[in-house]
């Protein structure tokens, strides 16, 4: 049993600083570090390297599970870059991307603004704050699949939402939300906004609390009303947090599946088919796995290329 | 005109009374220092004047106007916080311009006044620097300039020099007084440093535990403390307070200090004041600088034993004791005294004060 | 904090009104589902004027239905009661959480204290950026090959991998925040690295560790897509089972599904409220603290 040194202890004075020669303690420490991270590295490789290679391989063929043979034999069905050409020219694919981007462009800003509004409402002390805060967080803690079902029920022709609209408008409202393309899309977006605005609220409230109260008081003493305080003091200081919230939500919404699929299964038709739903359908219904592999690879490459510089800027790897 | 009147001001935080029935008048263009130990209520008073806090009881008047219901963004009071609260995400220029910007002044006007203030606070070279890494001395000037630029009639400063290095403090004190005269402002200044209060203020208000102890000019407070707290608090070291009993002899009044000896005959004024005492138990107050050694044996006089000798450069503070009592004496830097030796001392008549032992109030003729 | 000046009473009225509005909107869907869970069959598709927010005749029939015994008039064929999916969810989520927490905590310790695995922070972040659907085909192939399809342990494994980033990042921020002096003092006194970790580091981080575990559990419990693809019959989790419930006689089994949804939704909501303090940190990968 050796006594390991802390890695920040430098070599004892008197020893020359030879970078190549690590003493026994330092080597033991290095080894320990490697052992600690080994399981994770293995799992990571497992989930990254194998899939990538597999997908690369499969995507260059026209193999599907229907062919009866194991995927390893995909080379028998060599297809070169066919799947990639298909990808480029497939209208349905691009429409699903467009739809996903549309949802992103509408929902994320709305969630951000509503979340900011809620955070401003909740900043400061008032009676019942803790309870209200907990209730306000509930939507985002609901299992997304269950939320999907909730909104499925809510948007039924004879369901509560139409009921409320009827009460408000005086007449009988019986909109068939989930059977009309544009309305289904709207319903899906409403569900997303309902579920994830609280997340923006959570993050932005934490950000607001970081604004120094003293500076706000000082600003008020100098004659600044609420709007000036917000514009000149609060907003500049929560800029970074706004960006973080924006990034997180944008990434997640690109992956949206659970809630949406349970609400509409991508329908009516393909009117709510996002990229994840599209991939799912092509995988499970059409079974065109080699085509899907190509799509998957392209998505992975594009996302990596987009994400890496952004991450490097936000969190410089220590 | 910008006089401040605090009328029967009290502030409670739940069960805790931070300020109790404060009545204070600050005259137009006066420099008043609020002095006292931590927790005495000075910052609370400032917060009430500025509008950051709302009084539990009482009113605040600026001249004759009751400003108590007016919210703090409309009172027109300048306030420099102890930690300055500089807008660290803005440049120096933007900090200075802030008050003018929210008043929607035209940019040319803003620039002109920012330039003037920067000139006055010697910040011109730093105008476009970011503020988050500047030294405390500079931050303080920015804080003052930022509040001064909107030319408030009333200026509040909460221990603005406590974070500034000692060398710079003297310079800043002079600058602040110059500023006050220049802008013709009424200034209320919080400090726990009595030297600061004594040198800068026109009048000092001494507070302890939410209660106003005494208001007066520095000299007045120093020479005529109204109670035991002020006597002890003012002066460095504070006034000595010795337990004694009044005794009369041959038509003269003395104070018997037990093992410490007996004072000389009290001067007539003090003797007459002593008649007002509720009992014979009094406290004799004498400042350390009013004690002197006497040679030879005289009938009256004090005898105290040296317990410690403190040499502080230009003077020496001798710690003395007799029985349960203790006192300090200041002497010249060359003074020598052996530890444990007994010194014969007397108190200069002009420096003698009497306090009622039970109430702590000074015994005076008024 | 924000209203630093004394606001008028109008301000407060407006504020409370808006807050209440937000709260009502937040609760309506949940309330509707909760109400539906207790509605008898006749009320399931009540519409128009028949629609009531609260069940007219509350009943536990739906719960009985999903657990196998039904004294409802309807003959409903449910292949499987909800008992097994509940167990499946529990098992897969728990074991998956264990995998993620163990690997993630050890790795975080290695990265934080030993400067090992420098690729891990970035790599694990990128893992969360990729849509799961993009790697599901290889995963399905691999899992089939390894015989892990439709097993709780196969599910647990993939869960552990997918939530590893959360475990890692959370624990890493906690380790980074904990001062090294405590550990170094113990080292100087001759403890081994292992004992230092076990007796000094971990006890200090008990609460954060538990909170991280609960957060990871919530994620695993809430999964739908992965279970949908990797289970067929025996080990379907609650969300998958829920979406498969239907009857040829009545179409959608609103009440039953609502009851199921209630059961599924309860643990994350309760746990989420328990770990409120750490939610911001967990959901922003340590970029923000609360």
Where is pLDDT greater, at A2 or A243? A243
Residue B175 confidence (pLDDT): 82
Rounded average pLDDT over C210-232:
94
Q: Give yes or no: residues C30 and C132 share one domain.
A: no
Per residue in B119-175, pLDDT (tens digit) is 888 889 989 999 988 988 889 889 999 999 998 989 999 998 888 888 888 888 888
Q: How many domains does chain A have?
A: 1
User: Does residue A140 lie within any of the structural domains?
Assistant: yes
Residue C1 confidence (pLDDT): 37
User: Does residue C136 lie within any of the structural domains?
Assistant: yes
Quick one: pLDDT band at residue A239, thresholds 50, 70, 90? very high
**Domain containing residue C59:** 9-66
Cα dist. C29→A139, A149, C16, C262 in Å? Answer: 9, 10, 21, 11
CA-wise closest residue to C109 among C44, C205, C247, C32 = C205
Partner residue facing A36 (CB), from C18, C45, C109: C109
Q: Break chain A down into helix, strand, coil percent, rounded to 5.
A: 75, 0, 25
Q: In whole angstroms, what is the distance from residue A2 CA to residue C43 CA?
A: 72
Model-level pTM? 0.85
Q: Give yes or no: residues C88 and C217 share one domain.
A: yes
Is B73 in Cβ contact with A223 (below 8 Å)? yes
Helix (H, G, I), strand (E, B) or coil at B6: strand
Q: What is the CATH number of the domain that holds C102?
A: 1.10.3720.10
Quick one: pLDDT band at residue C71, thresholds 50, 70, 90? low
Q: In whole angstroms, what is the distance from residue C222 CA to residue C265 CA?
A: 8
Q: In whole angstroms, what is the distance from residue C110 CA to residue A33 CA?
A: 5
**Which chain B residues are closer than 8 Å to A235 by Cβ?**
none
Window from A114-118, B297-301, C8-12 with minimum mean pLDDT = B297-301
Rounded average pLDDT over C32-55:
84
Is C280 in Cβ contact with A134 (below 8 Å)? no
A312 burial type by CB count under 10 A (0-12 exposed, 13-18 middle, 19+ buried)? exposed
Window from A72-76, B172-176, C112-116 with minimum mean pLDDT = A72-76
Rounded average pLDDT over A180-198:
95
Quick one: pLDDT band at residue A66, thresholds 50, 70, 90? confident
How many beta-carbon pairs under 8 angstroms link A with B?
A: 56
**B281-286 vs B65-66, strand pairing mode:** unpaired
Host H or E run for residue C211: helix C206-221
Residue B6, pLDDT > 70, answer yes
Is B146 in Cβ contact with A221 (below 8 Å)? no
User: Mean pLDDT of all residues in chain B?
Assistant: 88
Q: Give yes or no: residues C120 and C214 share one domain.
A: yes
DSSP A107-158: HHHHHHHHHHHHHHHHSS--TTHHHHHHHHHHHHHS-HHHHHHHHHHHTSTT
Question: How many other CB atoms are found less than 10 A from the CB of residue A215?
Answer: 22
Q: In whole angstroms, what is the distance from residue B11 CA to residue B278 CA?
A: 33
Cα dist. B237→B231, B251, B317, B321, B351 in Å? Answer: 10, 34, 9, 15, 15
**B342-347 vs B261-262, strand pairing mode:** unpaired
Q: Give yes or no: residues C40 and C154 share one domain.
A: no
Helix (H, G, I), strand (E, B) or coil at C244: helix
Rounded average pLDDT over C66-78:
60
Residue A16 confidence (pLDDT): 45
Torsion of CA C160, C164, C170, C171, to 10 degrees: 80
Per residue in B11-57, pLDDT (tens digit) is 999 889 999 999 999 999 899 999 999 888 899 999 999 999 999 99
User: Does residue C4 lie within any of the structural domains?
Assistant: no
Residue A304, pLDDT > 70, answer yes
Percent of chain C with pLDDT over 70: 91
Note whether B176 and B200 are within 8 A (CB). Answer: yes
Is C139 in Cβ contact with A47 (below 8 Å)? yes
Note whether C124 and A45 are within 8 A (CB). Answer: no
Note whether B71 and B49 are within 8 A (CB). Answer: no
Residue C89, pLDDT > 90, answer yes
Per residue in A35-65, pLDDT (tens digit) is 889 999 999 988 888 898 988 988 888 888 8
Quick one: pLDDT band at residue C248, thresholds 50, 70, 90? low
B54 and C CB contact within 8 Å: yes
Residue B51 CB partners (closer than 8 Å, separation 6+) = A221, B67, B70, B71, B72, B73, B75, B77, C5
Quick one: pLDDT band at residue A31, thresholds 50, 70, 90? confident
Q: Give yes or no: residues C32 and C116 share one domain.
A: no
Quick one: pLDDT band at residue A81, thresholds 50, 70, 90? confident
With the C-alpha atoms ordered A86, A91, A97, A98, is the resulting torsion angle positive or negative?
positive
Residue A228 confidence (pLDDT): 93
Residue B108, pLDDT > 80, answer yes
Domains and their CATH numbers in chain B:
4-231 (3.40.50.300), 238-356 (2.40.50.140)
User: Does residue A220 lie within any of the structural domains?
Assistant: yes
**Which chain A residues are closer than 8 Å to B86 by Cβ?**
215
Window from A15-29, A225-239, A240-254, B231-245 with minimum mean pLDDT = A15-29
Q: In whole angstroms, what is the distance from residue A2 CA to residue C153 CA?
A: 38
**Domain containing residue A111:** 98-271
Question: How many other CB atoms are found less than 10 A from the CB of residue C108?
Answer: 28
Q: Tell me the nearest-neighbour CA distance from A235 into chain B, angstroms.
A: 11
User: Does residue C92 lie within any of the structural domains?
Assistant: yes
Chain B residues 34-53 with a CB less than 8 Å from chain A: 50-52
Tokens of B269: 């004024």
Is C192 in Cβ contact with A299 (below 8 Å)? no
Residue B298 confidence (pLDDT): 61
Partner residue facing A50 (CB), from C53, C142, C239: C142
Q: Give yes or no: residues C279 and C237 share one domain.
A: yes
Where is pLDDT greater, at A3 or C281? C281
Cα dist. B252→B246, B248, B275 in Å? Answer: 10, 6, 12
| Residue B130 DSSP one-character state | B
Tokens of C257: 């599904």
Is B73 in Cβ contact with C6 (below 8 Å)? no
Residue C24 confidence (pLDDT): 95
Percent of chain A with pLDDT over 70: 91
Helix (H, G, I), strand (E, B) or coil at B205: strand
Rounded average pLDDT over A78-84:
84
Residue C55, pLDDT > 70, answer yes
Q: How many domains does chain C have?
A: 2
Is A48 in Cβ contact with C224 (below 8 Å)? no
Q: Give yes or no: residues C17 and C130 share one domain.
A: no
DSSP A23-68: -HHHHHHHHHHHHHHHHHHHHHHHHHHHHHHHHHHHHTB---GGG-
| Residue C49 DSSP one-character state | G
**Which chain A residues are closer than 8 Å to C167 by Cβ?**
none
Rounded average pLDDT over C25-53:
86
User: Does residue A218 lie within any of the structural domains?
Assistant: yes
Question: Among the three residues C22, C37, C66, which one is the final residue of a domain in this structure?
Answer: C66
Q: Give yes or no: residues C120 and C45 share one domain.
A: no
Residue A241, pLDDT > 70, answer yes
Rounded average pLDDT over A152-179:
87
B81 and A CB contact within 8 Å: yes
Question: Among the three residues C66, C91, C108, which one is the final residue of a domain in this structure?
Answer: C66
Tokens of B135: 């030294």
B83 and A CB contact within 8 Å: yes
Tokens of C204: 């200090």
Rounded average pLDDT over B101-130:
91
Residue A317, pLDDT > 50, answer no
Q: Give yes or no: residues C17 and C127 share one domain.
A: no
Note whether B110 and B97 are within 8 A (CB). Answer: yes
User: Does residue A62 lie within any of the structural domains?
Assistant: no
Tokens of A306: 């987009």
Q: What is the CATH number of the domain that holds A198?
A: 1.10.3720.10
Host H or E run for residue A227: helix A226-228
Q: CA C136, C137, C141: angle at the middle one, nearest 5? A: 115
Is B99 in Cβ contact with A222 (below 8 Å)? yes
Torsion of CA A178, A180, A185, A190, to 10 degrees: -50
Residue A80, pLDDT > 60, answer yes
**Which chain C residues are closer than 8 Å to A71 by Cβ?**
141
B105 and A CB contact within 8 Å: no
Residue A15, pLDDT > 70, answer no
Per residue in C143-160, pLDDT (tens digit) is 998 999 999 999 999 999
User: Does residue C77 lie within any of the structural domains?
Assistant: no
Cα dist. B32→B154, B189, B238 in Å? Answer: 11, 6, 21
Q: Give yes or no: residues C38 and C142 share one domain.
A: no
User: Does residue A157 lie within any of the structural domains?
Assistant: yes
Q: Which residue of A has its CA nearest to C130?
A: A300
Per residue in B247-266, pLDDT (tens digit) is 888 878 888 888 878 777 78
Q: Give yes or no: residues C89 and C61 share one domain.
A: no
Residue C25 confidence (pLDDT): 95
User: Does residue C209 lie within any of the structural domains?
Assistant: yes
Residue A1 confidence (pLDDT): 33
Residue C69 confidence (pLDDT): 66
Q: In whole angstroms, what is the distance from residue C169 CA to residue C111 CA?
A: 10
A220 and B CB contact within 8 Å: yes
User: Does residue C74 lie within any of the structural domains?
Assistant: no
Residue A8 confidence (pLDDT): 38
Residue B73 confidence (pLDDT): 85
Note whether B44 and B38 are within 8 A (CB). Answer: no
Residue A235 confidence (pLDDT): 94
Chain C residues 261-280 with a CB less than 8 Å from chain A: 261, 264-265, 268-269, 272-273, 276, 279-280
Q: Give yes or no: residues C121 and C169 share one domain.
A: yes
A213, A217, A221: best mutation site toward chain B, by most B Cβ within 10 Å?
Answer: A221
């Amino acid at each position: 049993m050796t006594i390991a040194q802390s890695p920040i202890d430098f070599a004892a004075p008197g020893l020359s600083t030879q970078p190549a020669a690590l003493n026994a303690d330092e080597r033991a420490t290095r080894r320990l570090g490697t052992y600690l991270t080994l399981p994770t590295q293995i799992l990571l490789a497992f989930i990254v390297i194998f899939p990538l290679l597999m997908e690369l391989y499969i995507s260059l063929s026209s193999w599907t599970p229907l062919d009866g043979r194991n995927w390893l034999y995909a080379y028998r069905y060599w297809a070169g870059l066919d799947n990639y050409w298909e990808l480029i020219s497939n209208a349905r694919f691009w429409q699903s991307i467009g739809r996903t981007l549309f949802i992103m462009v509408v929902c994320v800003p709305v969630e951000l603004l509503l979340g900011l509004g809620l955070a401003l409402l909740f900043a400061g002390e008032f009676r019942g704050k803790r309870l209200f805060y907990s209730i306000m967080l509930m939507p985002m803690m609901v299992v997304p699949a269950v939320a999907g079902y909730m909104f499925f029920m809510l948007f039924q022709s004879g369901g509560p939402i139409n009921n409320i609209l009827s009460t408000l408008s005086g007449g009988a409202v019986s909109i068939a939300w989930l059977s009309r393309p544009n309305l289904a899309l709207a319903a899906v977006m409403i569900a997303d906004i309902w579920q994830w605005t609280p997340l923006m609220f959570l993050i932005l409230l934490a950000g607001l609390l970081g604004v120094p109260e003293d500076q706000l008081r000082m600003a008020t003493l100098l004659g600044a009303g609420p709007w000036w305080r917000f514009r000149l003091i609060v907003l500049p200081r929560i800029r970074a947090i706004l960006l973080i919230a924006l990034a997180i939500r944008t990434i997640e919404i690109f992956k949206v599946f659970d809630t949406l699929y349970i609400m509409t299964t991508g329908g009516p038709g393909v009117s709510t088919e996002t990229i994840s739903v599209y991939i799912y359908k092509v995988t499970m219904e059409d079974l065109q796995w080699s085509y899907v592999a190509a799509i998957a690879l392209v998505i992975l490459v594009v996302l990596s290329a987009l994400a890496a510089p952004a991450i490097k800027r936000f969190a410089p790897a220590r | 005109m910008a006089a401040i009147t605090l009328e029967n001001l009290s502030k409670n935080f739940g069960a805790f009374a931070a300020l109790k029935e404060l009545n204070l008048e600050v005259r137009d263009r006066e420099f008043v220092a609020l002095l006292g130990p931590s927790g005495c209520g000075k910052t609370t008073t400032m917060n009430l004047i500025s509008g950051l806090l709302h009084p539990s009881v009482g009113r605040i008047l600026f001249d004759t106007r009751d400003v108590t219901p007016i919210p703090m963004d409309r009172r027109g009071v300048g306030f420099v916080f102890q930690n300055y609260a500089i807008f660290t995400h803005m440049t120096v220029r933007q900090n200075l311009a802030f008050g003018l910007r929210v008043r929607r002044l035209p940019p040319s006007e803003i620039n002109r006044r920012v330039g003037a203030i920067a000139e006055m606070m010697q910040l011109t070279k730093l105008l476009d620097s970011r503020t988050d890494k500047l030294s405390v001395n500079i931050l303080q000037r920015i804080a003052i300039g930022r509040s001064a630029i909107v030319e408030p009639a009333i200026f509040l400063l909460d221990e603005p020099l406590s974070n500034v290095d000692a060398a710079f403090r003297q310079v800043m004190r002079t600058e602040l007084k110059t500023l006050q005269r220049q802008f013709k402002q009424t200034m209320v200044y919080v400090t726990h440093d009595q030297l600061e209060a004594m040198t800068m203020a026109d009048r000092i208000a001494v507070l302890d535990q939410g209660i106003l102890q005494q208001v007066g000019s520095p000299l007045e407070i120093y020479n005529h403390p109204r109670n035991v707290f002020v006597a002890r608090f003012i002066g460095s070291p504070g006034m000595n307070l010795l337990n004694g009993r009044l005794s009369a002899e041959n038509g003269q009044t003395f104070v018997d200090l037990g093992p410490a000896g007996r004072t000389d005959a009290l001067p007539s004024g003090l003797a007459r004041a002593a008649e007002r005492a509720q009992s014979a138990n009094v406290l004799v107050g004498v400042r350390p600088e009013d004690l002197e050694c006497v040679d030879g044996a005289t009938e009256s006089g004090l005898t105290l034993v040296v317990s410690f000798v403190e040499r502080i450069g230009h003077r020496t503070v001798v710690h003395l004791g007799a029985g349960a009592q203790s006192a300090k004496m200041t002497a010249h830097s060359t003074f020598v005294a052996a530890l444990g030796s007994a010194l014969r001392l007397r108190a200069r008549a002009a420096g003698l004060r009497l306090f009622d032992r039970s109430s702590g109030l000074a015994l005076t003729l008024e | 904090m924000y209203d630093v000046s004394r606001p008028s009473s109008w301000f407060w009225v407006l504020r409370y009104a808006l807050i209440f509005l937000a709260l009502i909107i937040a609760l309506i869907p949940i309330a509707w589902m909760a109400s539906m869970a207790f509605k008898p069959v006749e009320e399931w598709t009540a519409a128009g004027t028949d629609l009531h927010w609260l069940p007219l005749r509350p009943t536990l029939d739906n719960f009985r239905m999903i657990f196998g015994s039904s004294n409802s008039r309807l003959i409903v064929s449910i292949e499987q009661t909800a008992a097994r999916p509940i167990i499946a969810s529990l098992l897969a989520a728990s074991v998956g959480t264990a995998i993620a927490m163990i690997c993630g905590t050890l790795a975080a310790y290695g990265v934080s204290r030993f400067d090992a695995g420098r690729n891990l922070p970035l790599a694990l972040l990128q893992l969360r950026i990729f849509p799961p659907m993009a790697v599901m085909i290889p995963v399905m192939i691999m899992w089939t090959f390894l015989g892990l399809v439709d097993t709780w342990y196969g599910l647990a494994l993939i869960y552990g991998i997918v939530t590893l980033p959360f475990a890692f990042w959370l624990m890493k921020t906690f380790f980074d925040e904990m001062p090294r002096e405590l550990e170094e003092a113990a080292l100087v006194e001759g403890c081994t690295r292992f004992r230092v970790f076990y007796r000094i580091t971990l006890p200090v981080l008990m609460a954060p560790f538990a909170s991280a575990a609960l957060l990871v559990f919530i994620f695993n419990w809430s999964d739908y897509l992965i279970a949908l693809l990797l289970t067929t019959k025996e080990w379907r989790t609650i969300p998958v089972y829920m979406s498969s419930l239907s009857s040829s006689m009545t179409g959608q089994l609103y009440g039953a599904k609502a009851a199921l949804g209630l059961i599924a939704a309860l643990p994350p909501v309760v746990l989420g409220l328990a770990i409120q303090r750490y939610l911001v940190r967990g959901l922003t990968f340590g970029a923000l603290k609360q």
